[in-house]
Amino acid sequence: METTLIILKPDAVQRGLMGRIISRFEEKGLQIVGCKLMQIPMSLAETHYKDHKGKPFYPGLVGFMTSAPVLVMAVRGLGAIAIARKMMGATFGSKAEPGTIRGDFGVSNSFNLIHGSDSPEAAARELELFFQKGEVVEHKRAIDAWVYDMAKGSPE
């Protein structure tokens, strides 16, 4: 099991898409183990996107991410990072496949609705940035026996 960071960006929040996007993760079988609505401070946005500092789009990205509230989630499941990224779709809504979050809800190449960690290392770093100790609550779900085949003793 792995836990990944998902951020519903200001455009998703402002467009009232939070519930529909959360439902997709839950319907897929992924577990929400942390969730909060927040306004990202400039310093946190700069830290989160530090790898993009110096790139032409960096100032606009930081400005966008701090312009309105976001919904930050810790999402857990077997292969959660790869599954979430596939569900998100291509970076630009205009190029994302139908059936993906960006493909179904986005057309902009600037406003792309959602962020998801791209590796286990990034997920660990990003979760630590956005969640304090005790805010991610991992717990057993009764439905896990129906989400994962446990016949061999571990989920698959």
User: Bridge partners of 114?
Assistant: 8
Instruction: Judge whether 145 lies within some domain.
Output: no
Instruction: Judge whether 91 lies within some domain.
Output: yes
Is 48 considered catalytic here?
Answer: no
Instruction: Judge whether 139 lies within some domain.
Output: no
Q: Is the pTM of this model over 0.85?
A: yes
Q: Give the tens place of pLDDT for each residue, 111-122.
A: 999 999 999 999
79 in the Ramachandran plot: left (φ > 0), alpha (ψ -120 to 50) or beta?
left
Instruction: Give residue 119's domain range.
Output: 2-131
SS3 at position 119: coil
> What CATH number did the domain enclosing 25 receive?
3.30.70.141
* Token pair 């519930």: residue: 19
Q: How many domains does the chain have?
A: 1
Annotated catalytic residue: which of 48, 52, 115, 139?
115
Other CB atoms within 10 A of residue 96 CB: 21
Q: Give the tens place of pLDDT for each residue, 99-155.
A: 999 999 998 888 999 999 999 999 999 999 999 999 999 888 989 888 998 888 778
Q: Which helix (H) or strand (E) holds 36?
A: strand 31-38
**How confident is the model over 25-31, as a mean pLDDT?**
97
